[in-house]
Amino acid sequence: MTRIAIVEGDGIGHEVIPVAQNVLELLHPEYEYFPVEVGYHRWEMTGCPCADHDIAELKTADAILFGAITTPPMKDYQSVILRIRKVLDLYANLRPVKGNGFDIMIVRENTEGLYSGIEEISADRATTLRVVTREGTERVVRSAIRLAQQRSGRLTIGHKANVLKSDVLFRDICLAEAKSSGVSCNDKFIDALALDLLLHPASYDVVVTTNIFGDILSDTTSYLVGGLGLVPSANIGDRYALFEPVHGSAPDIAGQNIANPIAALRSAGMLLAYCGDAQGSDRIESAIQEVLSGGIRTRDLGGSAGTREFGDAVIRALIRKE
């Protein structure tokens, strides 16, 4: 039996993930769904945002549907999502940005870089170690190359090798791997790439870059499709996979039934494709498009529908197409 861990997390995660879970349960009632509670709210209640037994539970899942996490600015608070990515070795973060005339897949290295977690904090100085390794780079660029080979065969490497020596290593390894695989490849400085992606999105297919650059780049390019509320992501490793909307926990709008659930729904679609049901993934996207075309939109898209109401409309669209 396919087992799906449901992690709502914090903030609007409690609103958008139930919408996505309802859709999964409609399409696959035979799956086993089980909750795992982690995050800042869990820390407030227990003093521990993510325990070892929570990680052990996540490891029993075939896939994880993950909501949003609040990470408070406290030096003794460890980021829950960063810990999960590292412990499960989810080294490739896939962030699709697809719109009218363009289809971009940003592949972000997910376990090292500036999010290495190696930090020192004193009264007058804080230091974060940026880690780029050959192993980490090779495996993420190979994931990007496989995706490029399945798509149009074009790969772009985003880096800042003109300033950062660690990016020289990243760039050179990526170029060598692309050359040996026969994939068409070019590289760009990350600042120029961010601008050109916004100006000429149709010129790009698969983009691979380091951890923080990939985080910023995918958030920036979400502008092309209407904002963070619409963009999903997948965190993929050799054994485990976690799917989450790109947006954060948005505590300022939490509990108001106004969050856009599309990113969570699309994350559920990516989860289904990973589990072998590409048709189910396509059905979710088709239902989303039907609802939007019918004029049902959340407030961030200029409409008046609530989170639950939009989810109900997607359910109805899926049922009509059965």
My answer on whether 174 and 243 are in the same domain is no
Looking at the predicted structure, is the pLDDT value of residue 321 above 90? no
Structure confidence at residue 57 (pLDDT):
97
SS3 letters for 204-224? CCEEEECHHHHHHHHHHHHHH
CATH number of the CATH domain containing 22: 3.40.718.10
My answer on whether 168 and 212 are in the same domain is yes
Structure confidence at residue 117 (pLDDT):
81
Distance CA 182, CA 154 (A): 10
Residues 6+ away with beta carbon under 8 Å from 34: 3, 4, 5, 6, 57, 61
Smallest CA-to-CA distance from 84 within 61, 46, 54, 122 is with 54
Q: Average of pLDDT values for 198-225?
A: 96
Q: pLDDT tens digits for 112-136? A: 999 888 888 888 999 999 999 999 9
My answer on whether 250 and 267 are in the same domain is yes
Integer CA distances (angstroms), 186 to 117, 124, 142, 144, in order: 30, 41, 15, 13
Whether 158 maps to a domain, the answer reads yes
My answer on whether 73 and 131 are in the same domain is no
My answer on whether 319 and 242 are in the same domain is yes
Whether 81 maps to a domain, the answer reads yes
My answer on whether 188 and 242 are in the same domain is no
My answer on whether 15 and 57 are in the same domain is yes
Q: pLDDT tens digits for 269-311? A: 999 999 999 999 999 999 999 999 999 999 999 999 999 999 9
Which residues form the catalytic set?
115, 160, 191, 215, 219
What b/e string do you get for 202-224 counting C-beta neighbours within 10 Å, with b at 16 or more? eebbbbbbbbbbbbebbbbbbeb
Last-in-domain residue among 204, 227, 250 = 227
My answer on whether 146 and 79 are in the same domain is no
pTM above 0.75, yes or no: yes
Whether 83 maps to a domain, the answer reads yes
Domain assignment of residue 320, given as a range: 1-90+237-322
In the sheet that holds 241-245, the strands lie side by side as 32-35, 3-9, 63-68, 241-245, 232-236, 92-99, 102-109, 206-209, 154-159, 184-189
Query: What is the radius of gyration, based on Cα positions, of the chain?
Result: 19
Last-in-domain residue among 200, 227, 254 = 227
Within a 10 A sphere around the Cβ of 172, how many other Cβ atoms? Answer: 16
Last-in-domain residue among 227, 255, 285 = 227
My answer on whether 140 and 199 are in the same domain is yes
Whether 232 maps to a domain, the answer reads no
Structure confidence at residue 79 (pLDDT):
84
Containing 9, the helix (H) or strand (E) segment is strand 3-9
My answer on whether 39 and 113 are in the same domain is no
Looking at the predicted structure, is the pLDDT value of residue 322 above 80? no
Looking at the predicted structure, is the pLDDT value of residue 174 above 90? yes
Whether 26 maps to a domain, the answer reads yes
Residues 144, 210: contact at Cβ < 8 Å? no
Structure confidence at residue 33 (pLDDT):
98
My answer on whether 191 and 274 are in the same domain is no
The domain tally of the chain equals: 2
